[in-house]
């Protein structure tokens, strides 16, 4: 067995100390702090989608609700174009300088975008300047969140113990979904307790973005006090000049293609089930905004609870069975499930269908971070996860609701259902062809390579 060598910590970082009990406490604290920061950052991102039903008219004057939503969805999609740049920039920083520094910088950028949305005047006040400012803010948020996924996936997987890596890494999507719950929860409180719908439409939609900017201060504090991962700090000195290099990333074309293939169907399923679903229930199933919000909130609550359960299951049976299960259920079930949702007559019926969909999609979301992290060595892990993931999400996740609304606009909404099914089928093929990453994980080589 290899003997670990003592390596001096990077300047400004805090190392985990020896002693199994002490390490356990520090590890849990690090995972908690990283997860809370992740929640705050993704809340800022999803507040845009959750409240777009209420602020779209402030930036895009029109008598057609679908047209307003289509224009807002276009801004949402353009924000995704910055995500590959963010994935490259923050992934490179994380691999060269450290996970902690990259995560701190990304949350600062996100808070700036949220504050800008909160303060942007309406179209009626400043004309075309309003949607331009909205786009600028969204591009800043896209840059930030583009780097967040890869760095957080690397951080959580490196902080986890070997036997519980799937469980701890599942908290990336747990907090990601919890961020949407927080956005919807604030929406429910504003609608049912504090404001009328007219007030929310007029000015109340700014409140969640102010909250997001304030929460970012908490996230900033937590991230400034994060421990750096041992895997990053104990890299051999000879790998320093290679860290975060696209040249090194090109040595792992198979891993990059696996990230793209798995993300393709997974991100489309996720954004359809979460981000687009509120609009789908209002615009297609003709639910009231209040009923649709309640239904989505309860569905997301169940979806979030499934993440650590499925993540823990992957530590027992492997990652690949869950990915195959997602692929089979998604490829075969997307069309009938979305068709049934479009004809739902009660919120409870819609909730049941959404929970069924959540079980299938959890086969991807719960282990997405750990599977991708296990494909790359430590010196290229954050960039290896972040860049191909962000590129794929930009193309398929960012355009999901735009394509859905376009299909509805031309009178063939079912085309979108088949589109989702086909993309998940591609991810199924990738899962069937790939090896079990729990067995072939690069994590198990990180410390032995440093010896």
Predicted confidence at residue 425, as pLDDT, reads: 97
What's the farthest any 2 CA atoms get from each other in the chain?
70
CA distances, 137 to each of 78, 82, 186, 380 (Å) = 11, 11, 21, 30
* Average pLDDT score over residue span 352-371: 95
In a domain, 159, yes or no: yes
Calpha distance 333→348 (Å, rounded): 20
Task: Provide the token pair at 111.
Answer: 């808070």
Asked if pLDDT for residue 53 goes beyond 80, the answer is: no
The most confident of 24-33, 216-225, 265-274, 432-441, by mean pLDDT: 265-274
| pLDDT score for 16 | 46
What's the pLDDT score for residue 304? 94
Summarize pLDDT for 9-36 with one digit per residue, the tens: 444 444 444 334 444 677 777 787 778 7
CATH number for the domain that contains residue 66 = 1.20.1250.20
Q: How many domains does the chain have?
A: 1
Q: Is the pLDDT of residue 151 over 70?
A: yes
Cα-based torsion angle of the residue sequence 188, 152, 214, 76 in order, rounded to the nearest 10 degrees: -60
Q: Which of 292, 359, 284, 297 is nearest to 325 (CA)?
A: 359
In this prediction the pTM is 0.82
**For the residues 159-188, what does the mean pLDDT come to?**
87
Give the residue, 110 or 21, on which the prediction is more confident.
110
Question: Where does the pLDDT of residue 63 fall: very low under 50, low under 70, confident under 90, or very high at 90 and above?
Answer: low
- 115 in a structural domain: yes
pLDDT for res 331: 95
Please give the Cα distance from 439 to 9 (Å, whole number): 29
Q: What percent of the chain has pLDDT over 70?
A: 86
Spatial distance between the Cα atoms of 146 and 45, rounded to a whole number of angstroms: 11
Domain that holds residue 304: 21-231+251-450
pLDDT for the residue 309: 95
174 found inside a domain = yes
pLDDT of 451 over the 70 cut = no
CB 201 within 8 A of CB 57: yes
Q: Provide the pLDDT for residue 223.
A: 80
Confirm whether 164 is domain-assigned: yes
CB burial class (10 A; 0-12, 13-18, 19+) of residue 292?
buried
Please indicate whether residue 249 or residue 269 has the higher confidence score (pLDDT): 269
Contacts of 435 (CB under 8 A, 6+ apart): 320
Residue 299 lies in a domain: yes
CB 69 within 8 A of CB 56: yes
Residue 318, pLDDT above cutoff 80:
yes
Per the prediction, the chain carries an average pLDDT of 82
Rounded average pLDDT over 146-171: 86
Mean pLDDT, range 346-371, rounded to an integer: 94
Average pLDDT over every residue of 295-324 = 94
SS (H, E, C) 92-159: HHHHHCCHHHHHHHHHHHHHHHHHHHHHCCCHHHHCCHHHHHHHHHHHHHHHHHHHHHHHHHHHHHHH
Q: Which residues of 395-412 are buried (b: 16+ CB within 10 A; e: fewer)?
A: bbbbbbbbbbbbbbeeee
| pLDDT tens by residue, 206-260 | 899 899 888 888 887 878 777 777 777 777 654 555 665 677 788 888 999 999 9
Per-residue pLDDT band for 283 (boundaries 50, 70, 90) equals: confident
Q: Identify the pLDDT of residue 392.
A: 93
Q: Concatenate the DSSP letters of all residues of 260-313 into one string.
A: HHHHHHHHHHHHHHTTTHHHHHHHTS---HHHHHHHHHHHHHHHHHHHHHHHHH
Q: Is residue 313 part of a domain?
A: yes
The proportion of the chain whose per-residue pLDDT surpasses 90, expressed as a percent, equals 27
What is the reported pLDDT for 288?
Answer: 86
Distance CA 418, CA 337 (A): 11
- Domain assignment present for residue 403? The answer is yes
Lowest mean pLDDT among 1-10, 363-372, 434-443: 1-10
Q: How confident is the model at residue 7 (pLDDT cuts 50, 70, 90)?
A: very low
240 domain-assigned: no
């Amino acid at each position: 067995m290899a003997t670990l060598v003592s390596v001096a910590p990077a300047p400004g970082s805090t190392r985990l100390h020896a002693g199994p009990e002490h390490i356990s406490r520090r590890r849990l604290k690090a995972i908690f702090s990283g997860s809370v920061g992740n929640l705050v950052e993704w809340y800022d991102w999803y507040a845009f989608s959750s409240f777009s039903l209420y602020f779209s008219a402030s930036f895009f004057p029109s008598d057609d609700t679908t047209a307003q939503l289509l224009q807002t969805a276009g801004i949402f999609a353009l924000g995704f174009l910055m995500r590959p740049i963010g994935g490259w920039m923050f992934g490179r920083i994380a691999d060269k300088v450290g996970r902690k520094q990259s995560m701190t910088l990304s949350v600062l950028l996100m808070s700036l975008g949220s504050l800008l949305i909160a303060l942007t005047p309406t179209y009626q006040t400043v004309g075309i300047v309003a949607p331009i400012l909205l786009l600028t803010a969204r591009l800043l948020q896209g840059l930030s969140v583009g780097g967040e996924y890869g760095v957080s996936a690397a951080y959580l997987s490196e902080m986890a113990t070997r036997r519980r890596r799937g469980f701890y890494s599942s908290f990336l999507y747990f907090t990601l979904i919890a961020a949407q719950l927080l956005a919807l929860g604030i929406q429910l409180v504003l609608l049912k307790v504090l404001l009328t719908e007219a007030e929310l439409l007029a000015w109340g939609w700014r409140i969640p973005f102010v909250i997001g900017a304030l929460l970012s201060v908490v996230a900033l504090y937590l991230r400034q006090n994060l421990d750096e991962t041992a895997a990053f700090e104990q890299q051999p000195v000879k790998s320093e000049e290679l860290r975060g290099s696209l040249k090194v990333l090109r040595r792992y074309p198979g891993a990059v293609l696996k990230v793209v293939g798995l993300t393709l169907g997974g991100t489309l399923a996720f954004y359809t089930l979460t981000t687009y679903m509120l609009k789908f229930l209002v615009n297609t199933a003709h639910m009231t905004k209040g009923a649709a919000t309640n239904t989505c909130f309860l569905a997301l609550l169940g979806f979030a609870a499934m993440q650590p359960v499925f993540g823990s299951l992957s530590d027992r049976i492997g990652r690949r069975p869950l990915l195959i299960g997602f692929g089979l259920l998604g490829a075969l079930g997307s069309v009938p499930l979305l068709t049934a949702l479009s004809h739902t007559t009660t919120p409870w019926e819609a909730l049941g269908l959404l929970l069924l969909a959540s079980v299938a999609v959890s086969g991807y979301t719960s282990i997405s971070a750990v599977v991708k992290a296990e494909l790359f060595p430590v010196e290229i892990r954050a960039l290896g996860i972040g860049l191909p993931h962000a590129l794929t999400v930009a193309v398929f996740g960012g355009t999901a609701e735009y394509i859905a609304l376009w299909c509805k606009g031309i009178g063939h909404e079912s085309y979108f259902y088949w589109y989702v099914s086909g993309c998940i089928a591609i991810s199924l093929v990738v899962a069937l062809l790939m090896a079990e990453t729990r067995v072939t994980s690069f994590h198990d080589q990180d410390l032995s390579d440093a010896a």
